[in-house]
Chain A
Amino acid sequence: MMRRAMSLAVLLILFALPLLAMAQAQEPPEFDNTEQEQRYKELTTELRCVVCQNQNLADSDAQLAQDLRKEILGMLKDGQSDDQITGFLVDRYGDFVLYRPAIGGNTLALWLIPGVLLGGGAIAVFVTVRNRNRRLAEQQQKGSS
């Protein structure tokens, strides 16, 4: 009985070991206030990691993402605005870091194409439905006369 309890305890401790790695991997940043924490969270989820390009800065464990998070925290504590902070990254890595890039010459197509496609689709559906209704109405008229 005693031995079973012992081995159970050992097993439990072993299962808990990965938690140590987690605790080491991510030091939680220290914020001055909750507003700063909120802005930090928003900025890091809005900014893309340049190393693992399908992740945002908040989720990425890449070394550079950690460094950039540290930079962002430092800039927040310096009292810089959100625009200044995203500008810092755009100046160095380009529009790519933004999930929602500013509307400008080279991103205009990116912003317009979805709307154009949606509008075109809506018009196509409208025209098709109207023509079919007309045809049906004509057929009905022929049928009744």
Chain B
Amino acid sequence: MSTDMKRRIFLKGSLAAGAVSVAAGAGLLMPQQVLAAWPKAAFEAKSIPDALNALMGSGDTTTSDKIKIKAPDIAENGAVVPITVESSMEGIESIAIIASANPVPLIASFNLKGSAMGFVSTRIKMGKTGDVIGVVKAGGKLYSASKGVKVTIGGCGG
């Protein structure tokens, strides 16, 4: 698809989002659809390339050893898995955390502004054993690193 086509789709999407927020303002829809800035498509994508495409405009990542992922080898409780993604790269724009085995793989996307450094740490839910992938966008390119985490009790079911 050409860039122009993409822009067309993006315009359509933002117009639609505008209409949705007007409707929500009138009390017709759930307020959850008001947040236009939140990348809904990325968080609804079931596959990792789809999610990255919707989030960062590209599904291609290059494996990099400049990204460090700190995660436990075995997570006893999948509902709380501490993850730290650190990178020494220059010009980092954003960092995404993906759990490959989750029903919704994309967990979080952090956008770094100003003087922020390549370091984010949070706790995530993991449905089952799988890889945790850290994707770093720097200088318009995507770099990734992954680490396998074994989950003994899943954190997505009830």
Chains A and B form a bound pair = no
Interface residues of B (CB under 8 A from A): none
